[in-house]
Every structure is written in structure tokens, then in C-alpha cells.
Amino acid sequence: MKTAMMGLLAETSLHPGAESSTGAIDLPVAREAVTQYPVIVGSSLKGALRDLARHSLGDSVADSVFGIPDNAGQVMVGDARLLLLPVRSL
């Protein structure tokens, strides 16, 4: 099995929403349990990559790579974790 690490750079605002809201907050940000840093859940990222592949390469390639409901695909996508915190410079 081959593994690869990808980097993502958000050029515009990004809101990785959580599944459910608690309290007065309508759309909370998904966060890691231990660090409380924002995180993009792997299933959401895989869905976005699949949609991009489907539009760019076609349904058959996307189905082969990402799988179909009853069959596994060729790729596994984990959570996208924060690498750097943006800090305002002087």
C-alpha cells in the first residue's frame, strides 16, 4: 500500500462545520477532541475530492478511485488537521 500526505491551502475563508449544533451557536466549527483546533473531517474531504474528480475526470474514474456504495475504492482519506496557525505579523 502506498501512502501520501497532501497539503491544503485555503485561499478564501473556510468553515468546516460540525454535525450538530449545541446551545446558541447555529453552525459550530468541527474541532479535534484533544486540542480543540479546527479540523476537516475525512469523509467531508473525501466527498469534496470525489466531486472534483467526477467533474474533472468523469464518473467512471471517480467511481474506480473513490468507490461506490457497496464497494470500497482505491483511496482512503483521513482528517485534515491544522498544520500552522495564522498569526498577524507586525
Q: What are the pLDDT digits (tens) for 39-90?
A: 999 999 999 999 999 999 999 999 999 999 888 889 999 999 988 877 777 6
pLDDT, greater one: 10 or 76 = 76
What residues contact residue 15 under an 8 Å CB cut-off, 6+ apart?
Answer: 27, 29
Average pLDDT over residues 4-20: 82
- Phi, psi (deg, nearest 5) at residue 17: -70, 150
Question: pLDDT higher for 34 or 19?
Answer: 34
pTM of the predicted protein model: 0.76
What's the pLDDT score for residue 52?
Answer: 95
Handedness of CA 54, 56, 62, 66 (dihedral sign): negative
Query: 1 or 78, which is more confident?
Result: 78
